[in-house]
Amino acid sequence: MDGLKPGDPRYLKRRVKVCSLDVHPTEKALVVHYEVEATILGELGDPMVGERKECQKIVRLRSLNANTDTSSLARKVVEECRLIHPSKLREVEQLLFYLQNRKQSNDNQEKKHISPRDFKPYTGVELDEEASIGSIDEYIELLYEDIQDKIRGATLIFQLARNPDNLEELIQNETVLGALARVLREDWKQSVDLATTIIYVFFCFSSFSQFHGLVTHFKIGALCMNIIEHELKRYDLWQDELQKKKKNQNLKKEHEKSLRKYQSLLIKQEQLLRVALCLLLNLAEDTRTELKMRNRNIVHMLVRLLDREDGDLLLMVVSFLKKLSIFLENKNDMAETLAVEKLAQLVPCEHEELLSTTLRLLLNLSFDTSLRSQMVRASFVPKLSSLLGKSARMCILYHISMDDRFKSMFADTDCIPQLMKMVFDRGEEKIDVELISLCINLAANKSNAQVMCEGTGLKMLMKRAVKLKDVLVMKMIRNLSQHNGPTKSLFLDHVGDLAAQISEQEAEEFVIECLGTLANLTIPDLDWELVLKEYNLVPYLKNRLKPGSAEDDLILEVVIMIGTVSTDDSCAAMLAKSGIIPALIVLLNAKQEDDEFVCQILYVFYQMVFHEATRDVIIKDTQAPAYLIDLMHDNNAEIRKVCDNTLDIIAECDEEWRNKIRTEKFRWYNGQWLEMVENRQMDETGEPFLYGEDGESFGNRDLLERPDLFYSPGAEGFKDPWGLGDTNDGSIFNQQSLAE
């Protein structure tokens, strides 16, 4: 369309619209996002065909450093880049200031190894001559000669491509990339050097997102997949051949010769694999392209490469796996190929960047429960315990510690002493969330708790928690307090410190943990009555039972605390006299839909009916037994169990409630039978039979006082829950026996 002009039948109208400015994620550069809108106009100027394309331009700022005047540089950028309107000057200046002060993240450091400028021709391919962009046609002609000339031509082109400023000009020459792609497709099996060098050239283009379409156009990604697959097969053949010669004593000298040749070939092969993977990793920015790679088993190929020893190649393989691991399908492929077992060979390793990348890959995989199991089987707990310090390692251990099956394994390593030292070394500074979260999980195991509390461990934790009001440390202490045995006895020295925190002045979340810790202290030697009196806890506990007086978590902990102290006779009496039981009933009404609240309140009633001093209060002065009867057949098994046990005690101590309880149990066990009998009293018209034979109405009498309902033990549908058996008059029982 270069020849079109106004007045021609077709006239091209082109408009450029700048959308936004941003900073480059890894380089000192600005990225200008803009749209190009092209419209073909007809003879009368009407639009006929229109197309819109999103583009971006990278403005590199090589001179930008800590001493650069960003205001002057911003003006220069706006002047030289026609895409940026002068009104954007202030925005450009702010972006430059950000770039000037931006620190390189770990991810940026991780990508340093795939910068085009880092790749240099290896021994045997380097050239003494220096490439010139003006001689590009001569280099293209070399690609049509023999293999050595092709290698020389490709190497000179690679020298040019390593400089990003030359890429645009290379693209303008339509022949060069087409010739390189053709040579790679036809001759890659003939020369590893040639294949490696040409892939290097395309890698340089793949380092920039705007050139990905170009690389894809020549199908270089698919070709790289073919090359990797072929090289993996060659590697297996080399291994088999070496093993055969090694086993044959007659071929010992030949084995040594083959080994030297193998090592030379291996160096070149791994260089080829590395650059091919670099190119594929760049193209995998597009998830659709990544999916195509996955369909061609890229994960299986990468896992096979984990057996190699070259640090740079392994770094690229692990980096690729880390990127792939964020998708479920790829993660499942890694589980299927037992990638975790192979990654165990890299932990620990001397290559710090490789170790760091491996740990981040393992962190991604550790979210899966089956892969966590593989990590444990691969001895990652002791491996990572010896490498504590960085958050990735701590997070992996944290994920492993989430499973109760694996918590005890930490007790056999030096992990816990290291963790305790790290906690104490923080002084009054805030503890890292990863560190304290791991400690909280581990404290839930009895063996780990014993190690944590050794020496002055518990004392130091209590001191920090109380002094700094550290909720997370107190949560860890609460987990420690749940274990029976010597660990729990150590808390006797700290009961006063914990009770002193139970007040309305303290933060609720901190009080919750203190209450939970105290509630765990079911120690026979602990004088709860003295604790309640000395720290005046009864008024606080009673006030907090009021619905809405605090968060539900705090109210629940108060109920649990009351249940614990109610095991003591004198404490139970003190609580009963204070009016806590009616308060619990009010709370039970308010929280009747919350099974946890209901179960814990019923447990308090269960504890109190044990003691004679509080039993009468429960039975005679409250409606607690009635609530227990109502909940006797609740859907929750734990609630039913507590109700049954409590009602059994009440039935033994009070005759009136015993009869009510037995009646209710009779109704429950024989509900279906009673309903059937009542239906038999209906006449043919469907009207209920409301009167006995003597004309007396049964409407105001108890159903169980109706003699016509008493059948023999063989009556269908009748259940005898108490095993009373036959009576003298042939009925199951008479009215007198029921009253008894």
More confident residue, 143 or 726: 143
Q: Find the range with the poorest average confidence among 72-81, 180-189, 328-337, 455-464.
A: 72-81
Q: What φ, ψ does residue 697 adopt, rounded to 5°?
A: -75, 140
Q: Is 90 exceeded by the pLDDT of residue 279? A: yes
Helix (H, G, I), strand (E, B) or coil at 481: coil
d(CA 530, CA 515): 16
Q: Which pLDDT tens digit goes with each residue over 348-393? A: 888 989 999 999 999 999 999 999 999 999 999 999 988 876 667 8
pLDDT at 467 over 60: yes
* 298-302, 388-392, 418-422, 458-462: range with lowest mean pLDDT: 388-392
What's the pLDDT at 288?
92
The arithmetic mean of pLDDT across residues 149-159, rounded, is: 93
Pick from 312-326, 421-435, 551-565, 628-642: least confident: 628-642
Burial 244-282 (b: 16+ CB within 10 A, else e): ebeeeeeeeeebeebeeebeeeeebbbbbbbbbbbbbbb
Please report which confidence band the pLDDT of residue 677 belongs to, taking 50, 70 and 90 as the band edges. low
Residues 707 and 600: their CA atoms lie apart, in Å, by 41
Sheet holding 11-23, edge to edge: 11-23, 29-41, 47-60
Judge whether residue 693 has pLDDT over 70.
Answer: no
Lowest model confidence (mean pLDDT) among 139-153, 214-228, 299-313, 719-733: 719-733
* pLDDT on residue 218: 94
Residue 391, classified by CB atoms within 10 Å of its CB into exposed (0-12), middle (13-18) or buried (19+), is middle
CATH architecture of 135-296: Alpha Horseshoe (1.25)
CA-wise closest residue to 646 among 616, 613, 608, 612: 608
Query: What is the reported pLDDT for 160?
Result: 92
pLDDT averaged over the chain? 82
pLDDT at 36: 74
Percent of the chain having pLDDT more than 70? 82
pTM: 0.71
Residue ranges, comma separated, of all CATH 1.25.10.10 domains in the chain are 538-669
* Residue 13 confidence class, pLDDT cut points 50, 70, 90: low
Q: What mean pLDDT do residues 597-626 have?
A: 84
Average pLDDT of the residues in 192-214: 93
CA distance 687 to 372: 68
Residue 726 has pLDDT above 60, yes or no: no
Of 439 and 631, more confident: 439
Q: Which sign, positive or negative, has the C-alpha torsion 154, 159, 162, 168?
A: negative
pLDDT band at 735 (very low <50, low <70, confident <90, very high): very low
Range in 66-70, 524-528, 580-584 with the lowest mean pLDDT:
66-70
Please give the residue that has the higher pLDDT: either 738 or 316: 316
Res. 37: pLDDT tops 90: no
User: For the ranges 130-134, 250-254, 376-380, 515-519, which has the lowest average pLDDT?
Assistant: 250-254
CATH number for region 538-669: 1.25.10.10
pLDDT band at 302 (very low <50, low <70, confident <90, very high): very high
What is the CA 166 to chain-centroid distance, rounded? 44
Q: Which residue is associated with the tokens 């000339």? A: 149
Least confident of 56-60, 143-147, 440-444, 467-471: 56-60
Query: Per the structure block, which two tokens stand in for 590?
Result: 């308010």
Q: What is the mean pLDDT of residues 308-335?
A: 94
pLDDT tens digit sequence for 476-513: 999 999 999 889 999 999 999 999 999 989 999 999 99
Instruction: Report whether pLDDT(173) > 90.
Output: no
Q: Is the dihedral of CA 338, 340, 344, 345 positive or negative?
A: positive
Of 728 and 428, more confident: 428
CB-based contact 349:355 (threshold 8 Å) = yes
> In the predicted model, is pLDDT for residue 45 greater than 80?
no
- For the cut 50, the answer to whether the pLDDT of residue 330 exceeds it is yes
Burial class of residue 590, CB neighbours in 10 A (0-12, 13-18, 19+): middle
Nearest by Cα to 150 from 191, 200, 202: 191
Report the pLDDT value the prediction gives residue 701, as an integer from 0 to 100.
47
Please count the CA atoms within 13 angstroms of the CA of 429 that sit on its side-chain side.
9
Q: What mean pLDDT do residues 708-719 have?
A: 45
- The two three-digit tokens of residue 83, written as one number: 């895409």
Q: How many CA atoms lie within 13 A of 325 on its CB side?
A: 26
CA–centroid distance for 118 within its chain: 35
More reliable by pLDDT, 620 or 306: 306
pLDDT value of position 150:
93
Each residue's pLDDT tens digit, 223-241 = 999 999 999 999 999 998 8
pLDDT confidence of residue 48:
60
pLDDT band per the 50, 70, 90 thresholds, residue 99: confident
Q: Per-residue pLDDT for 621 more than 90?
A: no
* 647 pLDDT above the threshold of 90: no
Least confident of 564-568, 588-592, 723-727: 723-727
Q: What's the pLDDT at 308?
A: 94
